[in-house]
Amino acid sequence: MTKDSLLIRLYSFSYRQGAPGDPCGNGGGFVFDCRILPNPGRMAEYADLTGLDYTAAEFLNRLPETADFLQSACRLIENTAVNYRSRGFNDLMAAFGCTGGKHRSVFCAEQAGQYLQLKGFNTRIIHWELGRTDARFARPGAMLLAAGEGLRLRPLTENTPKALIKIGGRTMLDWNLEALSLAGFKNIVINTYHLKEQIAEHIERHYGNSPHKITISEEPALLGSGGGVKYAARWLHSPLPVIIHNADIYTEFDLANLYRRYNPADFAALVCQKRSSSRYLLFDEEGCLCGRCIEGRDFIVRQPCGRMRKLAFAGIHILSPDAVETIHTCASPDIIDFYLAQIQQGRCVRALKTQGIWFDIGTAEKLERLRKWMEKAG
């Protein structure tokens, strides 16, 4: 389990495709040009390898210019990290680029990560081009929203966070972590605030030795869905879409199928159902978000294509890399407001319509409804 602290994000990337953006809205950080080093990709014996493969890494490691380059880059990053840590900053970005984003940049990002970890820094390595183009290195990420106080469930949530309420002998957190794991999501961020120590202890006790990479994003205040994703963006940023999932819902949706159905050309996708709700999202005939309906009143912010339909949001959404890089502009605690602002700027947020079992435990009545359904289902 990784806890929130100063995070040094280390990227490898391809100059042909361009450097990754900065999800924190600080304009990025260091960019180191690895093209100063000889290119293993031009040599037949290394062309099909990457900087993660031993023989290609050894080729680069034997070069004296590699040591000089890495020593200079690592010292600069380290000195800056020491300064940032003393000033209470929580993020530092450094990107290593080469022509194809496959050999030199990958090797250098890995070496820098090892050096900085030995110095006691928290690092995250993202191989942007490899993760985007090579299925062997695809690491789709997920986030569970678990920071809420559960005010409508009091007094139950006065001493127990909503995510640790037990249903069918297991916590809501456990049900949802299992669902994400079965769908192939192994890198999972969990945001916490209310009774956060209990969630951290639960993760450490039950998942400390699991193959999952679980990161706790401890919020300094209750930030809401939009603020929570914004605060955790440095953990979520990757070349692949990320799935966001409320921790207080129970579903039997096929999350892997929903993720496959997502159109990467869309800014984001919202999993929705046709069911009764006091709040709906409004979509046009092309499935594009146009507004919302609250207690019978429509708020339309984008001209619909054809007739609109009302769908209930299921508390699961998929964000493109562009959305994660743009989330720093979110000014509202409600992430739906962020989506509405983006569609006004011409971006497409689309419905992923699905059917199946769905419950939320937002109130005592809804919690009891789920418990009775589980008892009946056996």
Residues 142-156 pLDDT 10s: 999 999 998 898 998
Residue type, 226: G
Burial of 344 (0-12, 13-18, 19+ CB in 10 A): exposed
How many Cβ atoms from other residues are within 10 Å of residue 75's Cβ? 11
Other beta carbons within 10 Å of 369: 14
Which tokens in the block code for residue 229?
């994703």
The model carries a pTM of 0.92
**Using H for helix, E for strand and C for coil, what is the string for 122-140?**
EEEEEEHHHHHHCHHHCCC
d(CA 308, CA 314): 18
SS3 for 371?
A: helix
Task: Taking the CA atoms of 7, 189, 107 and 16 in sequence, report the sign of the dihedral they define.
Answer: negative
What single-letter DSSP state applies at residue 160? Answer: S
Rounded average pLDDT over 43-49 = 91
Give me the torsion for CA of 44, 50, 55, 56, rounded to 10°: 70
Q: How far apart are CA 235 and CA 274, in angstroms?
A: 33
131 backbone dihedrals φ, ψ, rounded to 5°? -65, -25
Q: Let me know if domain 141-377 sits in CATH 3.90.550.10.
A: yes
Q: Are 102 and 14 in contact (CB under 8 A)?
A: yes
The β-bridge partners of 98 are: 14
Check residue 151 and report its DSSP letter: G
Q: Beta strands of 295-355 (E only): which ranges?
A: 297-300, 309-319, 349-353
Is the per-residue pLDDT at 372 higher than 70? yes
Domain with CATH 3.90.550.10 in the chain: 141-377
Mean pLDDT for the stretch of residues 138-167: 93
pLDDT mean over 5-11: 94
**Phi, psi at residue 53, to the nearest 5°?**
-80, 140
- The number of beta carbons lying within 10 Å of the beta carbon of residue 315 is 19
**Please, which pLDDT band fits residue 3 given cuts at 50, 70 and 90?**
low
State the average pLDDT for the chain.
93
Which helix (H) or strand (E) segment is 197 a member of?
helix 196-207
Based on DSSP, count helices (H) and strands (E) in the chain, helices before strands.
12, 19
**Spatial distance between the Cα atoms of 348 and 344, rounded to a whole number of angstroms:** 9
Name the band, by pLDDT with cuts 50, 70 and 90, for residue 171: very high
| Burial classification of residue 205, based on how many CB atoms lie within 10 Å of its CB (0-12 exposed, 13-18 middle, 19 or more buried) | exposed
Closest by CA position to 115, among listed 77, 169, 154:
77
Residue 209 pLDDT: 80
pLDDT band per the 50, 70, 90 thresholds, residue 4: low
**Integer Rg of the chain from CA:** 22
pLDDT in tens, 238-272: 999 999 999 999 999 999 999 999 999 999 999 99
pLDDT tens digits for 271-306?
999 988 888 999 999 999 999 998 888 999 999 999
Pairwise CA distance, residues 155 & 163, whole Å: 15
